[in-house]
């Protein structure tokens, strides 16, 4: 089970690290994507365009390194729940927008990045994977575990 | 499973990310200031500003 937790950590951590970096490199594009969602006031959008990419990047680092990985998984699950709510809202209002999940990376790798039911499904899978990381107690190859052993 | 501790750790991650984002915003040009700057650029010149282009006639004085 610890190996399963490690594999899930690497997948989710890698995804969040990449998407965070892609957004950090172009916050203006992320801001414009947030505006297209028409959900929040301007000040919240501006704050989110700076804060969310860094949060994703740090959460990715937490999961990859194994530092506070269970708390990280909890926060990622919360974030994904918010993303799903935003996506469903956009889908029901009939607004066709990019979901903005991967920013520049989606362009470079030609990934589908539309706000549709596939994006909702993907985020739901991420929540399931986070639940796996959260519930499995032990993990392997983690910096936190290494530090605890050294003590 | 110590839920209280995990929630506390989650709050620490959120606060740390906020700190890093603010720090990055403060030291890099790609922060909120850049976004504001781009918004100003997108809006164009302010209302009522008089623009004169060298070589233009009086008609070249435009109110944009």
Q: Pick from A15, A63, A132, A9: which is nearest to B13 by CA?
A: A63
Render pLDDT for A24-42 as a digit per residue (tens, 0 to 9). Answer: 888 888 888 888 888 888 8
pTM of the model: 0.80
In order of B1, B8, B12, B18, the CA distances from B5 in angstroms are 9, 5, 10, 20
Scanning every residue of chain B, which has its alpha carbon at the shortest distance from the alpha carbon of A28? B35
Query: pLDDT-derived band of residue B63, with 50, 70 and 90 as boundaries?
Result: very low
ipTM for the whole predicted complex goes beyond 0.90: no
In 10 A of CB A14, how many CB atoms? Answer: 13
Joined tokens for residue A138: 């032990």
If contacts are CB pairs under 8 Å, which of residues 17-36 in chain A contact chain B? 24, 27-28, 31
Q: Residue B34's pLDDT is what? A: 60
Lowest mean pLDDT among A21-25, A79-83, A124-128, B17-21: A21-25
């Amino acid at each position: 089970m610890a190996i399963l937790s490690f594999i899930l950590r690497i997948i989710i951590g890698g995804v969040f690290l990449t998407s965070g970096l892609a957004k950090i490199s172009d916050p203006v594009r992320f801001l414009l994507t947030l505006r297209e969602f028409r959900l929040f006031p301007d000040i919240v959008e501006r704050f989110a365009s700076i804060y969310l990419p860094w949060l994703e990047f740090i959460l990715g680092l937490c999961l990859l390194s194994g530092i506070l990985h269970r708390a990280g998984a909890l926060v990622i699950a919360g974030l994904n729940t918010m993303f799903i709510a935003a996506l469903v809202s956009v889908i029901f209002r009939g607004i066709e927008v990019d979901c903005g999940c991967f920013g520049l990376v989606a362009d470079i790798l030609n990934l589908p990045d539309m706000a549709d039911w596939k994006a909702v499904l993907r985020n739901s899978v991420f929540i399931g994977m986070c639940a796996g990381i959260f519930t499995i107690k032990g993990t392997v190859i983690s910096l936190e575990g290494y530090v605890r052993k050294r003590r | 499973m110590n839920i209280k501790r995990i929630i506390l750790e989650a709050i620490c991650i959120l606060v740390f990310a906020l700190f890093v984002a603010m720090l990055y915003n403060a030291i890099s040009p790609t922060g909120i200031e850049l976004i504001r700057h781009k918004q100003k650029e997108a809006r164009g010149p302010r209302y009522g500003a008089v623009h004169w282009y060298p070589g233009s006639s009086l008609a070249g004085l435009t109110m944009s």
